[in-house]
Amino acid sequence: MGTAGRRRKKYLGAVDLGGSKILSLIADGDGHRLAEDLRPTGAQEGPEVVLARIQASLDSALAGAGIERGDLAAVGICSPGPCDVQAGVIPSAPNLPGWQDVPLCRYLEERLGVPVYLENDATAAALGEHVYGAGRGCRHLIYITVSTGIGGGIIIDGKLYTGATGAAGEIGHITLDPDGPLCGCGNRGCLEAFASGRAVATQGDALIAQGGSPLLARLAQEEGEVTAEAVCRAALAGDPEARRLIERAGYYLGIGFATYVNIFDPEMIIVGGGLSRAGDLLLGPARAEMKERAMPESLRVLRLELAELGDYSGAMGLVALLRERAPA
């Protein structure tokens, strides 16, 4: 085929822009992963530095795959929080300080010379798990990510459902208790305020202050702060109070899952994100609570499973999205 064949623009770029890390990967037209780059976001340095870092990360992944910018057919990028998918603009981003109406797609299109598509990270991850992960072959599924915040995505009849404005699937902001703890969104008692990584870390902080978990105190001291990951590690190591925090998060998640089951009657709920590394410690109580509250007809077919793609759910969802949309 020689140069002419190689120049057919058939490669796809995907960037998962997170509050703490940027993951870029290059895939071929069949969706096979060729190369990747992972680096810290350095979000505190502001949008301009981060935008340059996204380009550098993509370039590094391109170099790893042995191809050039001109070989890309399209690039997809996903980000947590609100995304104006149509305009390709990030209106604001809770985990990216200073991001206000950033025209992300236009900025990258001008520099890369290819179409750039934006998607919410949990929405992209839902698609990734549907096409390449735990949800292969499922027509109706809900994906939920439990990380710093709680997000989700919905697949109905084999297709991504994004709603009227692209904001569908915000399970983290279902109200569980109108007078509950304050949530990052400004409301009280959202699921996210009870069961997210941030909430678990806050509860871990309080636990240490009460002298409740010497193991967690030691882990937090090593890391310099109380993180949900440290609570998970303490819980998996058998610390009873840390376990209780993870189980409590699972209990609240189960209430949220039941709500989703009753509305969508899905075949599958897939749970990803950092807190899902607690495995059955989190999913056990979630499953029990969901069974208490969801309609029995729906529960007969429902499977509750962990995500399969780990940190790649979002980026692989973008690859799936680009394979649908981009001119190959």
Is there a contact between 278 and 270 (Cβ–Cβ < 8 Å)?
A: no
For the CB of residue 309, give the shortest distance to Zn ion in the complex, in Å. Answer: 26
In one-letter notation, the amino acid at residue 153 is G
| Nearer to Zn ion (CB atom), residue 190 or residue 217 | 190
Binding-site size, Zn ion (CB under 5 A) = 5
Q: Which is nearer to Zn ion, 194 or 312 (CB)?
A: 194
Q: In 21-137, which residue ranges form alpha helices assigned H by DSSP?
A: 47-65, 104-112, 121-132
Report if residue 174 touches Zn ion, rule: CB under 5 A. no
Place of tokens 């190959």: 328
Stretch that binds Zn ion, among 24-32, 52-60, 171-179, 291-299 (CB under 5 A): 171-179
Contacts of Zn ion in 206-265 (CB under 5 A): none
Binding residues among 261-300 for Zn ion as defined by CB under 5 A: none
For Zn ion, which is the closer residue by CB, 51 or 176? 176
User: Do 287 and 254 contact (CB within 8 A), yes or no?
Assistant: yes
SS3 of 54, please? helix
Residue (182 or 328) nearer to Zn ion, CB: 182
Q: Fill in the per-residue mask, 180 to 199: x = in contact with Zn ion (CB under 5 A), - = not in contact.
A: ---x-x-x--x---------
Nearer to Zn ion, 134 or 193 (CB): 193
C-beta of 166 vs 212, nearer to Zn ion: 166
* Cα-based distances in Å from 48 to 111, 254, 259, 275: 14, 40, 40, 31
Q: Does residue 173 belong to the site contacting Zn ion (CB under 5 A)?
A: yes
For residue 305, CA distances in Å to 126, 161, 279, 280 come to 13, 20, 9, 10
Cβ at position 253, least distance to Zn ion in Å = 14
Q: What ranges in 133-239 are assigned the alpha helix state H?
A: 191-195, 197-209, 214-223, 228-236
Contact assessment for residue 192 and residue 183, using Cβ atoms and an 8 Å cutoff = yes
Positions in the binding site for Zn ion (CB under 5 A): 173, 183, 185, 187, 190
